[in-house]
Amino acid sequence: MSEVYIFNIAWQEIVNWFLVQPIYAQVLVLIGVFAVLTLAVILVYYILKGVAYLVYYILKGVYYLLKGIGLLFYKIFEGLYYAISGKTKPVKNSAPEQQAPPQQQIIRQVKQEQEPIVPTQQSVQIVRPEVAYCSECGNKFTGSMLQTLQESGVAYCIHCGNKKTQAYEMSIESQ
């Protein structure tokens, strides 16, 4: 039987080396081989996908280029035809109101006849909030915390321990 060589190493030597390794090394080598093969397949997939997109967009560009060149020749020969024959080129009707069905004309008239919308003035009331929140932890003040703050001028947040003073209550009222 003829020898099979991989990277200038005989196949039988690779198999012997693999079998000499302990079982955990064999498992790790197999996992590594499967990982490399998986990554190779993924790499080939993305390369083929990129080439397919490249070919698609090149063909799409060539199509639009040829379409534009065809339209150019059409317009040139159409102009030559009217120039040589002496006929006048027909002009499309640019008045959209003449072509519009009667229903659309009625809708346009109704839209023009609508009264303008006048905005109403709204009054804004400043209401003292009954609920306040700690600026440190964001938790809601309890009723006893607000009462202590009003009575003594100083209160501590029961959640984080942050000190609140009478100035803080004033800032709450001004908002």
116 Cβ contact partners less than 8 Å away, ≥ 6 residues apart? none
In the chain, where are the structural domains located?
5-85, 129-175
Q: What is the pLDDT of residue 127?
A: 43
CA pair distance 135, 168, nearest whole angstrom: 9
Residue 154: which H helix or E strand, with range? strand 154-156
Q: What is the pLDDT of residue 20?
A: 93
Which residues does residue 133 pair with via DSSP β-bridges, in sequence order?
140
More confident residue, 89 or 22: 22
Can you give the pTM of this predicted structure? 0.40
Average pLDDT over residues 78-94: 84
pLDDT in tens, 147-169: 887 788 788 888 888 877 766 54
Handedness of CA 104, 107, 109, 111 (dihedral sign): negative
For residue 90, count other CB atoms closer than 10 A to its CB: 6
Q: What is the per-residue pLDDT across 27-64, written as a single tens digit (0 to 9) for each?
A: 999 999 999 999 999 999 999 999 999 999 999 999 99
